[in-house]
Structure formats: C-alpha cells, structure tokens
Amino acid sequence: MDSPKIQSKVFNIAITLFIIAMALCSLPPLVFAGQLRVLEVNISFDISALTNSTLSGYNLYEDSVLVCETNDPVATTLSCGFVTENGTHSYALTARYSDGTESPKSEPFQFTISDPEQLRTLEIALTFESSSISDSTQVGYRLYEDSQMVCETSDPGATTISCSFATTDGTHSYQLAAYFADGTESQKSPPFEFSIGETNQLNSISLAIPSNIEILDQKTLVGYVLFIDSALICQTTDPAATSISCLSDITDGIHTYEVSAYYTDGTVGQTSPPIQFTMGETTIGDISQLRTLEIALTFDAAAITDTSLAGYRLFEDSQMVCETSDPGATTISCSFATTDGTHSYQLAAYFADGTESPKSPPFEFSIGETNQLNSIDLAIPSEIEIIDGKTLAGYKLFIDSSFVCQTTDPAATSISCLSDITDGIHTYEVSAYYTDGTVGQTSPPIQFTIGETIIGDTSQLRTLEIALTFDAAAITDTSLAGYRLFEDSQMVCETNDPGATTISCSFATTDGTHSYQLAAYYVDGTESPKSPPFEFSIGETNQLNSIELAIPSDIEIIDGKTLAGYKLFIDSSFVCQTTTPTATTISCLSAITDGTHIYQVSAYYTDGTEGQTSSAIQFTIGETSKLRSLDIALSFDPTAAPEKTLAGYKLFEDSLQVCITSDPTATSITCQFITANGTHTYELAAHYTDGTDSLKSPPFEFTISDSPSPTGDTTENLVANIAATPISGTAPLTVSFNAANSTGNIITYSWDFGDGDTGTGTTPTHTYSIPGTYTASILVHDTTGNVETTSTIIQVNEVISQSVPPAATITSSVAAGEAPLAVTFDGSASTAINSTIVSYEWDFGDGSTGSGDITSHVYTAAGTYSAALLVTDSQGLTDNESTPIVVTPTTIINQPPSASFTASPSQGASPLTAIFDASSSQDPDGTITSYSWNFGDGTTGSGKSVQHIYTNAATYTATLQVTDDGGASSPLASKSILVEEAQPTIILNYEIGELNITNDWVRVIFENSFTNPAVFISPPTNNDKDATVTRVRNLDKTGFEIRLQEWDYLDGKHLQETVSFIALEQGQATLPDGTAIEIGSFNGTTRKQTISFRAPFTTPPVVLTTIVSENETDAVTGRINVVTKDTFSYLLQEQESKRSKHVAESVSYLAWSTGSGSVDNIYFSAQLPTTPVTDKLTSITFLDSFNDTPFLFIEAQTMNSSDTGALRIQDLSTTKVDLFFQEEQAADSETNHSEESVGFITILPTTIP
C-alpha cells in the first residue's frame, strides 16, 4: 500500500474524427448519420475522352448533387470531405476544363455508409517525464486502445501523436508508451478513458483571460495556457490575447477554468483563480444563456484597507465569475454562462497587493425566463423623513425589506429601476440618504403587485375615489395634514389635502374582494385610528352600477336639528350620501353585484350626528332589473283596528317591504322600486302611529315584464266568473276551480275556498276533507285598481258505509335470540275497510312502548315477552294483535389479554440496570390481574413495572405473560437485552494528525500503541466540488486505510483534499475537570437504531461517528439524529437512487460532554453551537480563542432533511470555520438542504504527536 503522498499525470486529448473510404469498391460500410465524411476516389477517366481544352480538375457528384472538386489536373485520386447521411448513395465523376465546360459523368457507382466501425484520427499530447526514458536511443511513441496497439510515431521529438485507426463508438481505455532503438518499450502510462461517438463532439470554447492573471517581470511572455477542471486543454501564442478559443471534447455541465501565462524560457506562471462556466444544452437556448448582470457596488468605505484598491470581484455560488479593475466603479457589469435557477452571489474588493476584502453578505438572484427583470417605477411617499441640516443626495428603494436600487436626484418624485422581483404582492419602503453617507428612516410600507396578475383585464392599475366620512370629533388638537387609504391593512395611497372630502388614487391591485380603511394623519406625524373596514370587489364581474333609490317617507327626522343630507346603506354597508336635504332620491355608483339586496337610508345633520336608519326595502340589481312604478288599490277596512290610529300603508313584494305611504286617507299606494322581470307575490299592510302593522292582506300575484301593453280595447268591463268541477261529492272531495272566463284587464286572482284556505291564479285545485257546505269565492283586480267578486257553493257529503273495524297484522325480524336482542316490528300489513288506519300503538311487553307502522326495540334482559300492536282507523275503530319474543341469556366468552412492554435501556455495559414497563398491555373485556416476568438469566419477577440488574455480559431474552380477571393468559411477549462487557476506565490515549488524500487508498500507521482503537475523521476540504465522503477500512491497533469516495453516479476521480484524524482507545474516561468521554463502536445499518451510552451524561454530549469498514463498496455516509444524555439515533445512507440497500458497516463513535478544558498537553473545546448549517456556506465561530489553528472534528447532530449528503469545510482559522452540507445529486439536481444543528470538538495540542 502506498503512503499518503499522491501523484498523478495529466493526459490531454484533442480529437478530430474523420471517416475515410480507402477504395472505390472495396470500401467497408460506414455508420455515421449526417456527419462530415472524407472519401478518396480513384480517378480512372480515359484521357482520349478528353477534349482539346486544357484540363483543370475533377468534380464528384453524390446522388446527382456536386459534393466536392479538385483543381489538380494530374490527380489520380479525388479526396474530399462533405456532410452526408447513412445509407447507399450513387456517385459519379466528371472532368472540368479551363473554358468552364465539363465532361459527361462517369458510369455511376454505389457506396454504402453503414459500418459501425470507423476510421478515427486521434491526436494525443505526449507528456512523458524524461526520467521514464531508458538509456537506449528513443525511436518514438506508441498508442494503445483497450491494451491493443493502434498506432505509433517514429519522431522521438514529437509532442503529440496523431494517428488514424478503425474503432467503434463507445468508451475506450488508452495508454501511451515510448519505444527505443534496441526494441524495448517503456512502461505504459496510466490508462485514461475517452468516449467515441456523436455524444462527444468537439465544442467550440472561447473564454476570457482573467485580468488578475500573474505576469512575471523580467520574462518574455509567449502566450497563455487554458486549464478546464484542472486539465490542460489548449493554448494561445498571442501575448496580447484577451481570450482563448479552441475545440474541446469537454462534456455538458458546469466546469471551472483557469489560465496561466507561459514564457520564452519554457516556464509557466501560476494559474488564475478558478472561474465557473457551463457547457452543453443547459447553456444553449432560452432556459440558460450567456447572462449579463449589472450589480450595484455598495461596499462600506470603512471596510477598504489602507492598500490601494484595485477593483471588485463577483462570486456566484462561491465561485468567482468576473471582476472589474476599475476601483472607482459603482457597478460591476459582466457576462458569464450560468444555468437557470436561484444562485447565491457575493462581492469582494481586491487590492494592489493581491489581497482581498471579506466577501459581502450573500444575496440570491434567480436566472430564467420566469424571473426576467421587471421595470419598476414607484412613487416616493410624501411622508418620508427629511433630516434638517443635511444635504439630500437622493433616495433608496427597499422592496420586502431588501435594498433594490437608488436615485441620485434629490428632487425625484419616483424611483425607477430594473429588478428580478417575482410576480406577486410586495411592499416597498423608501429612505432618504445624504451627502455625508447617512441614511434616514424608511417610510411606512406600501403594498404593490408585480407580474401577470396586474397585466390584463383581471387586474389592472385601479383608480378608486373614496368618500371621507371622518367624524370631526375624532381629529386631535394637532393640525390635520391629510388622509390615507389602506387596502388589506397595507397603505396604498394618501392625500395631503386636509380639506378633501374624497380621496382619489391609483394603485395596482388584483381582482377579488379587498378590505379598505381610512385614517387621518397630522403634521406631527401621528395618525388617527383607522375607520371601520369596508369591503370592495375588484374585477370585470363587479363593474360599477349606477343606482338611484327613493328616500323612504318613514325616515326619522329629528326636531331641533339642521338636516345636512342622507346616507345610503345597502346590505347594512354604507355606500354613498347626498348633501341635499331636500333630495327625494339618492344616486351613486356602486360595485354591488347582481342579485336581490335591501337598502336603508338615514338622515344626518350639520352637528355631525346621524338618525336611525329607515326600514329595510328590497331591490334587485341585474340586466332584468329596472325601476318600476306600481299603483295598487287600497281595500283595507279601517274598522279592522278601531283602537289604533292609521298612519299609512306598506307594500310587500315576495315578503319584503318595497315602499310605504304616510297618507292614511289614500285609496291607492303608488311607489317606484327596482325589481326584476317575472311573476312576484304582493301583500298590503296598514301601518299605525304606534309603529305596529296590521296583518297582511291575502297575497296577490303580478307579472313584471318589458313587453309593450297589448293593443286594442283596454276599457273592457271587469267581470268575475267562476267554474268548479265537481261541485258536490263525498269527503275527501277534490275540486278544480277555473276563473279564465273572467273579463277585464285583470292583474290578480284571489281565492277563498270557504274552509279557511285561500289560493291564487286562474285555475287552482283544492281538497275538502270534512263534510259540509262551503262558499268558494274569487276576487279579481284589474290594472285600474277595480275589484270584482263572485262565488259558488260546494257540497261535501259524509261517506255512508258499514262500521267495519280494522285488522291488525304483525311481523317481526326475529322471534328468539340472546340478549341484547334487537327486533324490528312491522304492522304495515294491517288493513281497514271504508276507512284508513290513523295510528299504530306498540307494547313491547317489557314496559316499553312505541308507535308507527314500523318500529324497532332492543330487549336487554332474558325472558319471554308478548309484543302487542293496537291499530285505530279514521272511524275510531280498533283492533289488536300480539306475537311472542323469547330472549335467552347472553353467552359470555372471555377474551384473553395481550402482553406488551418496554425495556430501558435494552443495551449497555454490565452491570446493566433495566426498567421493564408493561403499561401498554391490554385486556379487551376486563382487567389484567397479574404480570409474570422472566428476565432470561434464571430470575423472575411480578408487577406492572419492575427493575432488574444484569451482572454478566450476554444476550438475554426477557419475557412477559399477563393474566386477566377471567383467568385467561396472554401469549408471551419478549425483548432481547444485550449486556456488554464493562468497558475499562481509560487513560486518555490519543493520536492526532492531518492527511492529504485522494480517491486512492493509503495506509496510516499509528505512532502510539493501541489495544482497541477507534478513529474519527473530520469533513474533507472543498478543493474539488464533486460530492464526496471519506471511507476508512482495515482499522487495527497498528493503523488504518483511508481514501475519498465520490458518490457512485460520479466518475470516482477526486482531487486532493485535507482531513484531520484522531485515534482514541475505546472505553470511558472522566477527565480531572469532570469532562466525561465515551468511545465505542457498533454495527450501523440503513434502518435507524438507537445507541445507548454506557453511562448517562449530565447533558446531551457532542457525538462524532466514522464508518471504519468497507463491507460493501458502494459510497455510504452516516447520519446522527436525536442526541440525548442517554442515547443517540444513527443510520447509514447511500445515494438517493439506492436508498436502504447497504450491508451493515462497523462504526466508531465518540461522545464528549460539552465544555472546554485541558489535559495531557492538549487544549480541547466541545460545543453545540446555535448557528445552523444548510447547503449554503456558513461560518461557525469558536467560543474559545486559539493561538494556532486547532484540529476540528464536526458533525451534524440532527437529521431535519432526509436528503443524502455530508459536511464539507473550508477556511479553517484560529477563530472560525466555513462549512456547508453538500447533497449528492443521483436522483435529482436539487441541493437545497434544511437547517441542521452541528456539534464540534476542537483540539490544540501544545506538542503534536
């Protein structure tokens, strides 16, 4: 096994693919649809066939189309490249002459493009180290594909090997070797893979040369070298170049590039800082393109160091994407390739001495079509604070509490800028800023809406004009400044006119119902309480309707007050008012919806008081609703209420009052009200001075329509006519009435059937149930208010029949059974002659009774019962019947109980005290009377909750059996109890160190002596962005093996990362300062398990774990969750596409009580910081101060997100560490991770072993 020092060589491949056909008829078939082909065709023209004109060259035709030509008249072959598709094609040749003529075509010959094996041309960079060349004279180099030599070059000074050979599409393994004059060959280079095929076409890349690249003084610059993902790609020999362009087989995806300068003496400078870019389909098209961002530079001048400022840099997702070398810039504008989605950006200043300021706080920005920059123009609020004694420089705009942009115009009334703000409802605030750099308080938040919801008919810029109805008494002593309007609790506009009677403003809002309030504000900055909320609906379906409603005559007018006008309320909500005290109607615009509503009116006075609202009056809004005028004749008898004084009359439409007259002498009531077309029911009532109403008149119907009045004679006499069929018969008698032969302009038909019932319409039907003589009458009303009546006699006779009693019949659903017995009794088969059965009375024989033709009863006690039915018919005659019901005693079967218990703890070192609790045991039909325990070590116990001490290490099976009050016993319930050997109290034996590792296994040898060690590894650094975990195996008392392992979906190759390790002897220790430490191991699986500490801690400790075996080669990590003072939970996780498919692995764990201290020449600190960690880079600050960088061991203590991943760290210092949770992307590309709590241990040896 190699030592931890890792070496690597880089082989860079530039590939040009050619498909070469070598002979006319012996060419092998080719497969490559629609690609550039190179054909070499023998020219076999007969020279005698040529004309006297001078030959200038030859043409090649494919399927009659010219595809290439040669200008060489002496050529024997024609070699040309052109794009063609798979399949069989027809080819022909012609000679071409200097006079422009062309010979006839040759005989056609066919050729098929279809062979999957093609002739490839590979050009490989030769990067052999000179030390690998033998003493013999080098002749050249050889290239091997899949261990087979495919070509060689005889140029020992070559820097590349270029050769053509036939190979198939797919991934192949290549190696290089040098060969010598004595026939020997060097060792082959390490293998490198390359994929042949359409999916690996060369991409054209043009990348900017960073402005911060290092240029060495006293050296002559030749050009620049481009590295992508740390691999050499190409170079330029132009020292003045600003970009490098070349072809590369780089795959689609996100990459980083670096550039270095190289010189005439062959040396190469340091590479520039890595810059991220994206290749492939994700950067071509609408969803991801070369983006241009312009970012405002808002660095605090105090943060700039004393060294000269050189410029600024922009970082995307922690990778630098561009920079500006203008130290006076106020914005940084740059173009770079990036993918759609949300990215995190930061800014940093850099200086002439090469140093860089701390990065700005991260800010997010979403790239993609759905987050295009929106143009925003927002008004600067009038109440913004302006500080006296300062010179105003401009205004700053904040949206949803985040700074967006600013204006440098102190006279501006609005702020306009582009923002990536998302569609939806937002709030904005504005603050003034001054020439001395200070910023004032932000204005109150104002709501506005961005996006499609404010574009179009359903939501637009709205203009509302709201009446200001504030009570003057509510205004404070301070001077009134104006009024404000609030929508859904957010201020949307204001007026600074204190004398305004309305507030009119425009603002963006969405369709729907909103709540509005008004408030007055004052010159001292205070604000009155908001008005009661009122609702208003925005949208096409709620257009403003013009409403004109009559002021009711019964409205209360208060004596001694000066009337100012009237207020209108619709459905109990204030709508508008009139300031004319003599008005008879109120007209206004309202967003009231179509349908039936009620309105009320109140009078208000010059002193600000308001009277009672009038009675509610119904009206209807809609296309069919219009203002109608009805004139109704009043036919009330004033003697109907002699003790009351008549005040007037009321008219009701469909039971709701529509108008009132205050004239007690009126003979008709004329009123106007809004109603819809159709037939309505009307009633009249007298209204008295004491506020009461008489009973309503019989209802009469009237049909409202827009049809014109009928033409012809309208003076026909009003005559009532009645027809009845039949006019006599036995009860019950149904009679059909008809008044259709009545004449005149009749509008209502009112019927009185003589038995207390009434009706309406021209052809009603009525049933007389009781024998007797009845006078049925009809009252008709015409359009002039006239009435006519007529009547007819209806004779209803008794039924003459024999008095035959009914016959009772009983059926029952069951006749016998165990108690409780439910029985359904049915008497519906009982019969009556010349009558009907009117009642069914049941006696169930156990003291209970019932009624109805069908009934049910439950017998709860054993016995024999007689259930009886008594039926009575309409003539009062009765009959009875009975049936026996036998109820037997209930057979009781005792149900056995079920045993269930918990054991805590179920695992630990001896002596182990376990508490057994059987409280979860149950008995379905009684109670448990005894609990019998067998602890598995030869001892027993009893009771619901017991305690037992296991003194010897072993695995025991504890069982429980419970017995109930019926003597039944449960099956045995059991649990395994694992008692481990008591761990010795250890002297803290440790070894700590730092390793540089890659994806290759290395062996670490302990310098200390261990008997049963555990080892713990810190999270790796973040040099290579591919997601990775650390794997350990073959841990024994001499050392362990370690490597980096990328997740299985990646290529497995990982750049060098740095990790720390600490080895500790397993056991328990209590340090002199009381710090408790426990080191142990267990077998972890993909199912969550709870690990018990051998002894409880006083508070939850910091827990670290490391997987120390490789029982399965798939990449795996471990996750901790729910750490308590007694236990912690743990499970293994593979990548998301293969969850729950990993065998058990050995896991070392370390539990260290929180706190700081020192022991054995080391200073330690175990902490549970409150700062959570997500997928975003987070800084954790140490609570302790170190004079040198400590060793850091840190791990997530929670599992709030189940997505697979592990911690990565960077920038470890004496005061803090930066880290993030890196998710793998096997199942999806999403890497957002919920907040996780972490625990860490820092160790600083005074002498590092």
The answer to whether 80 touches 91, Cβ cutoff 8 Å, is no
- Residue 611 belongs to some domain of the structure: no
pLDDT of residue 936: 94
> In which residue are the tokens 């007690």 written?
664
1102 in the same domain as 999: yes
Strands 816-818 and 878-888: parallel
The overall pTM is greater than 0.85: no
Long-range contacts from 524-528, C-beta under 8 angstroms, 24+ separation: 524/478, 524/479, 525/383, 526/476, 526/478, 527/484, 528/470, 528/474, 528/475, 528/476
Q: Is 607 inside a domain boundary? A: no
Same domain, 38 and 65: yes
Both tokens of 1053, joined, read 């190759």
Residue 976 amino acid letter: S
Claim to verify: residue 1125 and residue 1030 sit in the same structural domain: yes
| Tokens found for residue 175 | 């190696």
Final residue of a structural domain among 149, 173, 200: 200
Residues 1170 and 1219 in one domain: yes
1037 vs 753, 1004, 1008, 1010, 1192, CA distance in Å? Answer: 114, 11, 9, 5, 23
Whether the CB-CB separation of 1145 and 1105 falls below 8 Å is answered with no
Q: What is the CATH number of the domain that holds 146?
A: 2.60.40.10
End-to-end CA distance of the chain: 23
Enumerate the β-bridge partners of residue 1107: 1147
pLDDT in tens, 1188-1227: 999 999 999 999 999 999 999 999 999 999 999 999 999 8
- Label residue 1241 exposed, middle or buried (CB < 10 Å: 0-12, 13-18, 19+): buried
What phi, psi does 1136 have (nearest 5°)? Answer: -60, -25
Same domain for 124 and 108? no
CA 611, CA 394: separation in Å to the nearest integer? Answer: 52
pLDDT at 292: 58
Q: Are 291 and 337 in contact (CB under 8 A)?
A: yes
φ and ψ at residue 541, rounded to 5 degrees: -75, -5
Three-class DSSP category at 452: helix
Residues 471, 465: contact at Cβ < 8 Å?
no
**Quick check: 510 and 488 in contact, CB under 8 A?**
no
Distances (CA, A) of 248 to 8, 115, 1009: 22, 26, 53
Angle at 1242 between CA 1239 and CA 1244, to 5 degrees: 175
DSSP state of 484: E
Q: What is the pLDDT of residue 1092?
A: 93
Same domain, yes or no: 1033 and 1166 = yes
The reply to whether 1142 falls in a domain is yes
**Nearest CA-CA partner of 322 in 210, 472, 479:** 210
Number of domains making up the chain: 8
> Coil, strand or helix: which one is 341?
strand
Domain for residue 175, yes or no?
yes
pLDDT tens, position by position, 572-601: 888 888 888 888 888 776 667 777 788 888
| 137 contacts 180 by C-beta, under 8 angstroms | yes
Beta pairing class for 656-661 and 35-42? unpaired
Domain of 852 in residue numbering reads as 811-888
- What type of residue sits at position 1030? T
Instruction: State the virtual CA torsion across 317, 321, 324, 329 in degrees, nearest 10.
Output: -40
**817 and 792 housed in the same domain:** no
Separation between Cα atoms, residue 1007 and residue 1014, nearest integer Å: 15
**CA dist., res. 1213 & res. 1206, Å (int):** 21
Report pLDDT for 8: 24
1032 burial level (CB within 10 Å; 0-12, 13-18, 19+): buried
**Under-50 pLDDT residues of the chain:** 1-36, 47-50, 115-119, 129-133, 198-201, 281-290, 301-303, 369-372, 452-461, 472-474, 540-543, 623-624, 638-639, 707-715, 1247-1249
pLDDT of residue 198: 43
Q: Residue 336: inside a domain, yes or no? A: no
For residue 1248, the model assigns a pLDDT of 37
Asked if 1059 and 1027 touch (Cβ cutoff 8 Å), the reply is no
1124 and 1224 co-located in one domain: yes
HSE, side-chain direction, 13 A CA sphere, residue 998: 13
Examine the fold and report which residue of 927, 951, 980 is the final residue of a domain before the chain moves on.
980
Domain end marker among 830, 862, 888: 888
pLDDT at 908 (0 to 100): 81
Residue 271: inside a domain: yes
Find all residues with CB under 8 Å of 1052, minimum gap 6, and list them: 999, 1045, 1046
State the sign of the Cα–Cα–Cα–Cα dihedral 129, 134, 140, 145: negative
CB 647 within 8 A of CB 660: no
CA distance 414 to 348: 31
- Check whether residue 1020 and residue 964 sit in a common domain: no
Q: Are residues 631 and 739 in the same domain?
A: no
Q: Which stretches of 471-585 are DSSP H helices? A: none
Pair 750, 776: CB distance under 8 Å:
no
Nearest to 907 by CA among 1130, 1239, 1153, 1140: 1130
Q: Please give the Cα distance from 907 to 904 (Å, whole number).
A: 8
User: pLDDT at position 460, please?
Assistant: 47
Q: Is residue 330 part of a domain?
A: no
Measure CA 602 to chain center.
Answer: 51
What is the distance, to the nearest Å, from the Cα of residue 174 to the centroid of all Cα atoms in its chain?
A: 48
Sign of CA dihedral 307, 311, 316, 321: negative
HSE of 947, CA atoms in CB hemisphere, 13 A: 3
The long-range contacts involving 255-259, CB below 8 angstroms and separated by at least 24 positions, are 255/228, 255/229, 255/279, 256/228, 256/229, 256/319, 256/1025, 257/207, 257/226, 257/227, 257/228, 257/229, 258/226, 258/227, 258/230, 259/207, 259/209, 259/210, 259/213, 259/224, 259/225, 259/226, 259/227
- Given a contact cutoff of 8 angstroms between Cβ atoms, the answer to whether 420 and 357 are in contact is no
Residue 382: which of 419, 430, 334 has the closest Cα?
430
Q: How far apart are CA 701 and CA 682, in angstroms?
A: 6
* Pick from 918, 927, 1019: nearest CA to 1236: 1019
CA distance readout (Å), 407 to 36, 404, 424 = 56, 11, 24
pLDDT at 264: 86
| Residue 456 CB contacts under 8 Å (≥ 6 apart), including other chains | none
Supply the pLDDT for residue 1122.
Answer: 92
Structure tokens at 164: 């053509």
The answer on 869 and 1003 residing in a single domain is no
Give a yes or no: residue 294 inside a domain: no
Strands (E), 390-533: 392-399, 402-407, 414-419, 424-434, 446-450, 461-467, 480-487, 490-495, 502-508, 512-522
Task: Report the alpha-carbon distance of residue 500 to residue 876 in Å, rounded.
Answer: 82
* Nearest CA-CA partner of 362 in 980, 1017, 1174: 1174
- The verdict on 966 and 916 lying in the same domain is yes
Predicted local confidence at residue 726, as pLDDT: 92
Identify each DSSP E strand in 268-317 by its residue range.
275-279, 290-296, 309-316
